[in-house]
Amino acid sequence: MSQKFKEDFLSNKKIDLKKNALDVLEKRYLKKNKNGKVIENPEDLFYRVAQNIAQADKKYDDKADIDALTKEFYNVMFLLDFLPNSPTLMNAGKHLQQLSACFVLPIEDSMDLIFDTLKNTALIHKSGGGTGFSFSRLRPNKDKVSTTSGVSSGPVSFMHVFNAATEAIKQGGARRGANMGILRVDHPDILAFIVSKDKNDSLNNFNISVAITEEFMNALEKTEDYNLYNPRTNAFFGKLNAKTVFNKIVDQAWKNGEPGIIFIDRINEKNPTPDIGAIESTNPCGEQPLLSYESCNLGSINLGHFVKDGDVDWERLEKTIGTAVHFLDNVIDMNNYPIDKIAQVTQSNRKIGLGVMGWADMLLSLGIVYGSEESLSLAEKLMWFVQTKSHGISEELAVKRGAFPNFKKSIYAKGKKIRNATVTTIAPTGTIGIIASASGGIEPIFALVYKRAQCLDNEEMYEVNLQFEKLAKEKGFYSQKLMDKIEEKGSIQEFSEIPEYIRKVFVTSHDISPEDHVRMQAAFQKYTDNAVSKTVNFPHSASRGDVENVYILSYKLGCNGVTVYRDGSRGIQVLNIASKKEEQMLPKEIKSRTRLMKTTGVTFLMYTGCGKMYITINEDDKGVYEVFTQFGKSGGCMSSQTEAIGRLISLALRSGINQNEIISQLKGIRCPLPILAQERGVILSCADAVGKALELYNREKMLPESFSSRKQSADILPINKNNQYTHDFDTNLMGACPQCLECGEMLIFSEGCVVCHGCGYSKCS
């Protein structure tokens, strides 16, 4: 295809994008030169992708009109009617050419094979993909290891190994990878797995889910025990009470949203190639069940663009479905797979995942209330349409190109040939949703009015739902004061100045009952080959019983799994209350000891996200009793905050508070700018730095040489051999921090993952 054709084709085309879409494209998608300067525009990007993916047709037809197909693929993206998953947008037509988002790798019960998988994980993460694992084949903790006459450490310990490796590997040189860790509910270590993320700083590079079996659900219904099995021998291992285990899952999910649950037997009932193998795991967001070594490429249709004259524009939607399925099938052939085995298995089954975004936008355009019976009915009708038409296109492709190679071993063997073992998936649409200005997946509107910090200039601006803004101005109730109040409240349900019929339709996530969230997920799942990525949002006041009800309802309604999040649960530090006996031992009045006129101590240089921080620790004859902090440059809010921390620590120390208690309170506190120091490890915040300095002081006092006379070491001043300090910003240390570490926006739980509506960051992608 000539350069002139490209120039003529693009000469009068300009995509209408919002500023935040442009920011995201410039930051993550547009091609850059070696100096980091953007050297393509959005039109160039979509042309690059369209032209590259169209080339696959040559494999099946020497006379294929690649120019015409390039135009077809380009136009569907130009109009923002359909967008493929991020790796395809980022890498198609470039050197990397890795186009898939989802991978599943096996974890076998062998040290050699475990570390083979770890190596493959590194290759996938480096290429920009996310990985899913089932750790269910690993023998339980303290089970025998015949080769060494020792005992095993169990699956959770190996999850920490994979987590640490992920921490060290940046995806495509930009960010950490994402993992899904799954364990069957009948594994002997299931209780340890359920609480493995009890602390918010544990397994940060994993989402975790329990694989629930039918045996377990039957035992739960009868409040009976169920069997555990040792995966090494497949022998009976013992019993647990189903209700006790279920309550533990519910309790942890109520506390911080994890683990999620997947109904593994139900997923395998829909496994299109059961003779090839059982499905044991999903991708990081849970919407794509895959066999070991399978990958899948995804894409989403923007439903908000398919409303015409008060109804769904079924004719144009059908045409777009056809283009999208053709596009995604071509991606399989144009993909540069990171591992040969993945190429082999993926091309044998040719799974694709066509989904939707902008569902809430469509409902608003139609005046239908999200969660109403009308919305649920339309959801089923619409997804039936997408499913039926996409399968029809896949069957047409099979006539022209042949069925997927494992077709004769599939559930389709006695029917029409089909090109793809699976065709539909509803995946998260974080960044592509921002590019398309579409509501996420099948989620309700997150907020009608909110402030967004601009990715490039850090200025705040209002983001107002366009349909709401238009109505507000037409009906005469728009005002800046009202927008401020809505932004603060997060919902319009209590604003009497807004007409009732508008309040009824413009609902946000927390206006919708958890049960209606589940019903919507189930409505789409009914006609989806794979699974549906969605979060069931709870208010902070929700009880454990509320979470339990949603889990049971999701099972009864036919969902493949469910993810829940109780508002604010990840940002709350659970405080332990001392026992009455301990309270009685405390004096009624605590007096701090007097500060000496002259004291000795040491000053540590700690590097934080806010800059160089000097922490001075002084002691008297009774031990450490004082902490001072100072930044390399004086002034500012942060200096005053850390001074306050130092004063309070000093008061606590002089009042007899145990130093280790203070350290435990400070360590682990997170801010939006953690850094990775060479010798220190991760410094999560200024408070974390103070806690680690106190800990380091104690450790240094245990050295043989006197603390006051030792030389400065690299452990005290973390510098490299060239006397330069180097650090790397960590973009995946989410934990309890509610802010995006890339743009500072508040993070939300949506589409089964932690996402940022500011810059499109997703922990799972």
Distance CA 693, CA 606 (A): 8
Confidence of residue 594 (pLDDT cuts 50, 70, 90): confident
pLDDT of residue 742: 64
Distance CA 751, CA 761 (A): 13
Number of structural domains the chain divides into? 2
Q: Is residue 569 part of a domain?
A: no
Q: Is residue 672 part of a domain?
A: yes
Distance CA 385, CA 129 (A): 30
207 has a pLDDT exceeding 60? yes
309-331 pLDDT per residue, tens = 999 999 999 999 999 999 999 99
Distance CA 432, CA 760 (A): 8
Q: 347: Cβ–Cβ under 8 A, 6 or more apart, which residues?
A: 332, 405
Q: Is residue 312 part of a domain?
A: no
Confidence of residue 461 (pLDDT cuts 50, 70, 90): low
Q: Is residue 678 part of a domain?
A: yes
**Which of the two residues, 391 and 591, has the higher pLDDT score?**
391
Distance CA 500, CA 374 (A): 18
C-alpha to C-alpha distances, 35 to 27, 29, 38, 128, nearest whole angstrom: 14, 16, 9, 21
Confidence of residue 714 (pLDDT cuts 50, 70, 90): very low
Q: Of these residues, 283, 297, 335, 530, which one is catalytic? A: 283
Q: Of these residues, 285, 686, 737, 753, which one is catalytic? A: 285
179-188 pLDDT per residue, tens = 999 999 999 9
Q: Is residue 471 part of a domain?
A: no
- Residue 549: exposed, middle, or buried by beta-carbon count in 10 A (0-12, 13-18, 19+)? middle
Domain of residue 236, residue span = 102-282
746-760 pLDDT per residue, tens = 677 777 777 777 677
366-402 residues labelled b (16+ CB within 10 A) or e (exposed): eebbbbbeebbebbeebbebbbebbbbbbbebbeebe
Please tell me whether the overall predicted TM-score, pTM, comes out greater than 0.95 for this model.
no
pLDDT of residue 736: 40
Distance CA 672, CA 736 (A): 11
Q: Is residue 764 part of a domain?
A: no
278 has a pLDDT exceeding 50? yes
Q: What is the domain-level CATH number for residue 191?
A: 3.20.70.20
258 is catalytic: no
Domain boundary residue, one of 282, 297, 328: 282
652 has a pLDDT exceeding 60? yes
Query: What's the chain's average pLDDT?
Result: 86
Q: Which of 200-204, 413-417, 483-487, 526-530 has the lowest mean pLDDT?
A: 200-204
For residues 638 and 672, the answer to whether their CB atoms sit within 8 Å is no
Q: Which of 264-273, 361-370, 731-740 has the lowest mean pLDDT?
A: 731-740
Confidence of residue 653 (pLDDT cuts 50, 70, 90): confident
Q: Is residue 235 part of a domain?
A: yes
**Which of the two residues, 414 and 463, has the higher pLDDT score?**
414
435 has a pLDDT exceeding 60? yes
Q: Is residue 395 part of a domain?
A: no
500 is catalytic: no
Q: Which of 140-144, 393-397, 446-450, 527-531 has the lowest mean pLDDT?
A: 446-450
Distance CA 195, CA 251 (A): 10
pLDDT of residue 304: 97
Confidence of residue 733 (pLDDT cuts 50, 70, 90): very low
What does 533-583 look like in DSSP terms, one character per residue?
Answer: --EEEE-TT--HHHHHHHHHHHHHTT-SEEEEEETTGGG-PPPPPPPHHHH
What does 350-400 look like in DSSP terms, one character per residue?
Answer: --EEEEEE-HHHHHHHHT--TTSHHHHHHHHHHHHHHHHHHHHHHHHHHHH
Question: Which helix H or strand E contains 182, and what residues bound it?
Answer: strand 179-184
Q: Of these residues, 43, 258, 280, 287, which one is catalytic? A: 287
Q: Which of 278-292, 442-456, 641-655, 707-721 has the lowest mean pLDDT?
A: 707-721
For residues 647 and 667, the answer to whether their CB atoms sit within 8 Å is no
pLDDT of residue 708: 36
Mean predicted confidence (pLDDT) in 618-624: 82
283 is catalytic: yes
